[in-house]
Amino acid sequence: MLSRSELVRRLLDHESGFAITPIIDTESQIAEASVDLRLGPDFIVAKRATGLSTFDPAQVDDIGERIRDYQDYMRRPVGSAFYLHPGQFALARTLEYFTLPREISAEVVGRSSWGRLGLVIATAPLVQPGFKGTVTLELSNLGTVPMVLYVGVRIAQATFYEVTR
């Protein structure tokens, strides 16, 4: 695992091929073993089913269109509220854009402070070496009251590992 000092050194070295942008505050966003990631502006929200419906993975030809019928896309400006209701599922992404060199991988997990409130933040936790892009977050409210999430709030954290070949 890369330490805070090693993370900062590599992020400042423009020749390293390692970048996370935008990082607003290195003092509060970069901890001893992780980097805090913020909630981005884009959401895909699953619509509540109003009748009997199923998704059959064996019907690969029409599943893409059927999924779009049950999802809404929305974009919110930084600082604005997004409401995640009990039992609701949404896809979001990080505000930060990653560029990982071939010798660094990452693991992304939800911040425990959100988990204690009933928010499950699932990702495909392993970010492969060479990845470029934002990380998709799967958000589920397991609590009993609506949750207000603000675009730009620290919601997940990434740890980085050196890959030996």
Which residues are known catalytic residues?
A: 138
Burial category of 130 from C-beta neighbours within 10 Å (exposed 0-12, middle 13-18, buried 19 and up): middle
What residues contact 73, with CB distance under 8 A and at least 6 apart?
A: 42, 43, 44
> CB neighbours (10 Å) of residue 117?
11
SS (H, E, C) 89-150: EEEEEECCEEECCCCEEEEEEECHHHHCCCEEEECCCEECCCCEECCEEEEEECCCCCEEEE
Residue with tokens 């990631």: 37
